[in-house]
């Protein structure tokens, strides 16, 4: 089955202590869509400006991503630039130029309104709600978020949460939202806000799912080198939803493996700048790392 993904479609200029790469293809929806495309057909909802490089449109197409929901408007593409410290867990935003994103208010093509799997990738919660309002009885809806929305759009996010099946956020965001230091207490509080499936991401320490079938402690794939972690969280949730959409049976029966596939897809994302490494990855590469993770966690 297909996955509809809405989020940011951007150009990212990324500095790390050793390298600098300007105007890479980025944005939560780009990372999530490419990650999901390894497993299922993907419909992308986003907006770019007239300056958006043709090669990036070709890259989406190479991944068979349906672009009927991607608007190309007069003006500039959303541009983010950021810098990582030696410890790649710490990054700071150097500039954010919204461009055409400022007035983004998508109307979904009819053909997209009945897509069963919906991923509301990181974007303003009001936009996530706006897209969800246009969907007809989706089977499984997951949203991601970021600290910015907790700071400036908390009310919208609180309104969104009861309408989700799954919610994904990182450990510091979970702490901020619940005022709870302990991950497992935070998970309980997050369920009370709505979603039945809550996933807390812990970067290189993996992630934790709390669901009707209990906890799942999901490992991260061990990486010797992290070139650029931008988009790793988006790749994780994109891979997860892509994998889930191609499974048979219940979400409960498949979500754990879906997380492992998401985790592995995210590991490739970290090994290159932007989407450079992810787009060179094959399904066979992913299967190989999943098998390795099985070996690394067996006892």
Burial of 18 (0-12, 13-18, 19+ CB in 10 A): exposed
* Minimum separation from the CB atom of position 222 to its own copies (A): 5
What residues numbered 245-284 form the site for its own copies, per CB under 8 A?
256-257, 259-260
CA 191 to chain centre: 20
* Binding residue (CB under 8 A) for its own copies from 6, 123, 169, 208: 208
How far is 203 from 162, CA to CA, in rounded Å? 26
What residues numbered 175-204 form the site for its own copies, per CB under 8 A?
181-185, 202, 204
Q: Decide: 231 and 26 in contact? Cβ < 8 Å.
A: yes
* Binding residue (CB under 8 A) for its own copies from 23, 193, 216, 277: 216
| Nearer of residues 230 and 267 to its own copies, judged by Cβ | 267
Q: Apex CA 207: angle with CA 203 and CA 213, to 5°?
A: 170
> Interface with its own copies includes 237 (CB under 8 A)?
no
* Minimum separation from the CB atom of position 104 to its own copies (A): 37
- CA–CA distance from 135 to each of 107, 295, 299 (Å)? 11, 40, 43
- First-to-last alpha carbon distance for the chain, in angstroms, is 34
* Binding residue (CB under 8 A) for its own copies from 19, 62, 155, 205: 205
Stretch that binds its own copies, among 29-37, 69-77, 97-105, 211-219 (CB under 8 A): 211-219
* CA nearest to 160, candidates 195, 117, 185: 195
What residues numbered 57-96 form the site for its own copies, per CB under 8 A?
86-87
Stretch that binds its own copies, among 54-62, 101-109, 215-223, 275-283 (CB under 8 A): 215-223
> Interface with its own copies includes 232 (CB under 8 A)?
no
How far is 207 from 197, CA to CA, in rounded Å? 13
**Residues interacting with its own copies, by CB under 8 A?**
86-87, 181-185, 202, 204-206, 208, 214-219, 222-226, 256-257, 259-260, 293-299
């Amino acid at each position: 089955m297909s996955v509809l993904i809405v989020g940011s479609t951007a150009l990212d200029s990324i500095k790390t202590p050793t390298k600098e790469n300007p105007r890479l293809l980025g944005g939560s929806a780009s990372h999530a869509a490419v990650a999901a495309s390894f497993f299922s057909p993907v419909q992308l909802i986003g907006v770019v400006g007239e300056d958006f490089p043709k090669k990036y449109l070709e890259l989406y197409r190479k991944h068979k991503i349906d672009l009927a929901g991607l608007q190309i408007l007069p003006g500039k593409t959303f541009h983010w630039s950021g810098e990582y410290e030696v410890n790649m867990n710490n990054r700071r935003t150097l500039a954010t130029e919204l461009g055409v994103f400022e007035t983004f208010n998508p109307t979904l093509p009819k053909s997209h309104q009945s897509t069963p799997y919906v991923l509301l990738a990181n974007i303003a919660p009001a936009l996530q709600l706006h897209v969800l309002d246009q969907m007809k009885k989706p089977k499984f809806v997951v949203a991601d978020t970021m600290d910015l929305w907790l700071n400036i759009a908390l009310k919208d996010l609180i309104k969104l949460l009861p309408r989700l099946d799954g919610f994904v956020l990182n450990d510091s965001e979970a702490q901020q939202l619940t005022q709870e230091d302990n991950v497992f207490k935070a998970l309980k509080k997050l369920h009370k806000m709505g979603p039945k499936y809550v996933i807390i991401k812990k970067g290189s320490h993996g992630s934790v799912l709390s669901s009707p079938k209990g906890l799942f402690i999901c490992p991260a794939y061990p990486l010797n080198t992290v070139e650029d972690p931008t988009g790793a969280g988006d790749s994780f949730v994109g891979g997860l939803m892509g994998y889930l959409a191609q499974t048979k049976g219940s979400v409960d029966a498949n979500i754990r493996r879906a997380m492992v596939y998401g985790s592995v897809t995210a590991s490739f994302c970290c090994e290159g700048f932007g989407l450079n490494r992810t787009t060179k990855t094959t399904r066979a590469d992913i299967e190989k790392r999943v098998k390795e993770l099985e070996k690394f966690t067996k006892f």
